[in-house]
Amino acid sequence: MTSSIIRECGPVDISEQDVLKAMKAMQGYIDITPADFKQVYQIAYALAKDRMLKALKAADVMSAPVHVVSVDMDLIQTAILLADKGVSGAPVIDAGGKVVGVVSEKDFMAEMGAGSGGSFMQVVAHCLKNKGCVALPLRNRRVGDIMTAPAITAPAEISVGEIAGLFMEKKINRLPIVGQDGRPAGIVTRLDLVNSYCMLG
């Protein structure tokens, strides 16, 4: 994770000078002080943003159907599958089809010497220092051994705003969306979240 500082998402801070210029451009006498207008703007903007973020749900932005792997799948097969599908992670399901965890590049890299940070550069550094790469620890092991569990999941009704909050708070990159039976319905990745901001205009 790059930074532990969560930057506050807020409305563009207009200044009283901006308001004064706008009032001049509109002509006519507008009987509100610049400070009062600014306050009206800020409250209205926050309400509008809130409404937008609440209006857009996981169901609107998630990728579905989602590629899943089962908990007892061999890690080599898993790596091949993820590479094949061009995804960097997937929900892990148990024999009953319920989501029990998430496996991603990060989990693989953690096993390959990256430690808990799980970045590719850490793997490179580890390989160079040890004069060779060690993917061997991945042999004969299963998804269940390295996955991140328990899974952080959410229902399809969760709003985009809440998802963004979860990503920051839990430091995760993808959120499996599950039905009431716990089976996967889709997944919201950081990319899906970025796309949702386009929908918001």
Partner 1 sequence: MTYFEKMRGHTQSPPRVGAVEIVWSGIGSLLGMAAVALIHFQMLDPLGHMLIIGSFGASAVLIYGAVRSPLAQPRNLMGGHLLSAVVGVTALRLLGGHPWLAAAVAVAAAIVLMHATKTLHPPGGATALIAVIGGESVHNLGYLYVLMPVGMGAAVMLLIALLINNIPKNRRYPEFW
Give how far the C-alpha of residue 142 lies from the chain's centroid of Cα atoms, to the nearest Å. 25
Decide whether 37 or 167 has the Cβ nearer to partner 1.
37
Q: Which one-letter DSSP state was computed for residue 176?
A: E
Decide whether 9 or 30 has the Cβ nearer to partner 1.
30
Decide whether 36 or 169 has the Cβ nearer to partner 1.
36
CB 47 → partner 1: shortest distance, Å? 21
CB 32 → partner 1: shortest distance, Å? 7
**Number of residues lying near partner 1 (CB under 8 A):** 14
Region 102-131 residues binding partner 1, contact defined as CB under 8 A:
none
Decide whether 21 or 85 has the Cβ nearer to partner 1.
21
CB 12 → partner 1: shortest distance, Å? 19
Those residues with Cβ within 8 angstroms of residue 85's Cβ, 6 or more apart along the chain or in another chain: 67
CB 19 → partner 1: shortest distance, Å? 9
CB 13 → partner 1: shortest distance, Å? 15
What is the pattern of x (binds partner 1, CB under 8 A) and - over residues 10-49?
------x---x--xx--xxxxxxxxxx-------------
78: nearest Cα among 152, 150, 141, 148 = 141
125: nearest Cα among 135, 136, 112 = 112
Decide whether 16 or 50 has the Cβ nearer to partner 1.
16
DSSP string, 24-78: HHH-S---S-HHHHHHHHHHHHHHHHHHHHHHSBHHHH-B-S---EETT-BHHHH
Tokens 């029990």 map to which residue?
A: 100
CB 15 → partner 1: shortest distance, Å? 11
Region 65-104 residues binding partner 1, contact defined as CB under 8 A:
none
Sort 190 into a burial class: Cβ within 10 Å, 0-12 / 13-18 / 19+: middle
Decide whether 36 or 50 has the Cβ nearer to partner 1.
36
Looking at the DSSP assignment, which residues form a beta bridge with residue 90? 103
Kind of pairing between the strands at 89-93 and 69-70: parallel
Q: Which residues bind partner 1 (CB under 8 A)?
A: 16, 20, 23-24, 27-36
